[in-house]
């Protein structure tokens, strides 16, 4: 019986997510699954903000390489870390049921933050949307795993983290405010897990297919299509959230300036997730002024 190897980052959250995926697989109980821990560029460079490293792919490239090179058979990622286009040779074999996609404030609610408060987050998307809501806020960088960020958060008035991460680690007691989508759209794929394997590995594709969640796949497919059409390496703050109702995807999207002075939003819906994502990107670019915004930083 073939022994399977799963690649993952080494953080407590990444390993927990991987263990949950493995437990859900319908495998023979005598079949071993070996964990292959990989250190990524994003894990090594904690002194540098993510967007200055190129942002896209800094937490996944080395993990994907482990699968492509045969050192692992599949990999478990946070879907928000993936580039908008799947790497040639790999396939997104499973997108399990999504957790809470929202962002959360730790330390204070947004309404209770005093004028000029300092909010810790390294995300340009989070900074832009918070600045649009509260132009008085100041921002500080915050890097590291969830436990590290929670420990450092006390040095600031508040910090922003993904609600799903706190939930999976049993740390929801730290949440002061869940930021609804009217205030902040999440990152593409936030709250979802993505399981990749080699495109020619039919055995693993079949094993992973049993944990694929149809609604999650539709929503995340629309979000990723939006980001790909917008330009997967877009340097501006971008947010998106797809929700599925009776085979129809409703996709809310956002493109903003870094300082939050310009925030463009659009909503598209339809039964073809990829087409909805493309339509949402074009709505921002062609009708809402997104093309001019992108050109302003070129």
Whether residue 67 contacts residue 91, with contact meaning beta carbons closer than 8 Å, is answered with no
Fold match between domain 4-96+192-212 and domain 103-179: yes
- pLDDT attached to residue 52: 52
Interhelix angle 214-231/273-282, nearest 10 degrees: 30
236 band by pLDDT with thresholds 50, 70 and 90: confident
**Residue from 81, 100, 103, 157 carrying the catalytic annotation:** 81
Domain range summary for the chain, segments of one domain joined by +: 4-96+192-212, 103-179, 228-295
Question: How far from 59 is each of 40, 72, 203, 275, 283, CA to CA, in Å?
Answer: 5, 16, 26, 28, 30
What is the enclosing helix (H) or strand (E) of 167? helix 163-168
270 band by pLDDT with thresholds 50, 70 and 90: very high
Residue 291 has pLDDT above 80, yes or no: yes
Indicate the CATH number for domain 4-96+192-212: 3.40.190.10
Whether residue 104 contacts residue 178, with contact meaning beta carbons closer than 8 Å, is answered with yes
81 given a catalytic annotation: yes
User: Into which CATH architecture does domain 228-295 fall?
Assistant: 2-Layer Sandwich (3.30)
- pLDDT attached to residue 2: 75
- pLDDT attached to residue 19: 95
What mean pLDDT comes out for the span 195-209? Answer: 96
What tokens were used for 51?
């967007």
3-state secondary structure of 11: coil
Query: Could you tell me the strand order of the sheet in which 118-120 lies?
Result: 138-140, 118-120, 158-162, 103-106, 175-179
Residue 114 has pLDDT above 90, yes or no: yes
3-state secondary structure of 78: strand
**This prediction's pTM:** 0.92
- pLDDT attached to residue 50: 54
- pLDDT attached to residue 156: 97
274 band by pLDDT with thresholds 50, 70 and 90: very high
45 band by pLDDT with thresholds 50, 70 and 90: low
What mean pLDDT comes out for the span 250-277? Answer: 96
**Which one, of 154, 123, 148, lies nearest residue 256 by Cα?**
123
- pLDDT attached to residue 32: 85
Angle at 175 between CA 170 and CA 179, to 5 degrees: 125
Residue 268 has pLDDT above 90, yes or no: yes
Whether residue 223 contacts residue 240, with contact meaning beta carbons closer than 8 Å, is answered with yes
pLDDT exceeding 70 applies to what percent of the chain? 93
Indicate the CATH number for domain 103-179: 3.40.190.10
Lowest-confidence region among 43-52, 164-173, 190-199: 43-52
- pLDDT attached to residue 235: 75
Q: What is the pLDDT of residues 71-104, one digit of tens each?
A: 999 999 999 999 999 999 999 999 999 999 999 9
Q: What is the pLDDT of residues 13-33, one digit of tens each?
A: 999 999 999 999 988 777 789
């Amino acid at each position: 019986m073939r022994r399977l190897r799963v690649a993952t980052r080494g953080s407590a959250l990444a390993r927990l997510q991987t263990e949950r995926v493995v437990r859900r697989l319908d495998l023979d109980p005598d079949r071993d699954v070996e964990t292959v821990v990989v250190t990524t560029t994003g894990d090594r460079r904690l002194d540098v903000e993510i967007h200055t490293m190129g942002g896209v792919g800094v937490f996944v490239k080395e993990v994907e390489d482990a699968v492509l090179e045969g050192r692992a058979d599949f990999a478990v990622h946070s879907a928000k870390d993936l580039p908008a286009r799947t790497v040639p040779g790999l396939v997104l074999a499973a997108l399990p049921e999504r957790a809470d996609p929202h962002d959360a404030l730790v330390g204070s609610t947004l309404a209770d933050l005093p004028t000029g408060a300092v909010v810790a987050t390294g995300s340009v998307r989070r900074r832009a949307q918070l600045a649009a809501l509260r132009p008085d806020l100041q921002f500080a960088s915050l890097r590291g795993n969830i436990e590290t960020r929670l420990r450092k958060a006390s040095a600031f008035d508040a910090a922003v983290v993904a609600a799903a991460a706190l939930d999976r680690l049993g740390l929801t007691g730290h949440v002061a405010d869940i930021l609804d989508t009217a205030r902040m759209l999440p990152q593409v794929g936030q709250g979802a897990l993505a399981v990749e394997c080699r495109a020619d590995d039919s055995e693993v594709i079949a094993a992973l297919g049993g944990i694929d969640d149809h609604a999650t796949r539709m929503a995340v497919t629309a979000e990723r299509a939006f980001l790909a059409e917008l330009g997967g390496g877009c340097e501006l703050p971008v947010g998106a959230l797809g929700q599925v109702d009776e085979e129809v995807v409703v996709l809310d999207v956002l493109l903003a300036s870094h300082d939050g002075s310009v925030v463009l939003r659009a909503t598209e819906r339809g039964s073809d997730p990829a087409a909805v994502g493309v339509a949402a990107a074009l709505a921002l670019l062609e009708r809402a002024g997104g093309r001019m915004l992108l050109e302003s930083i070129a």
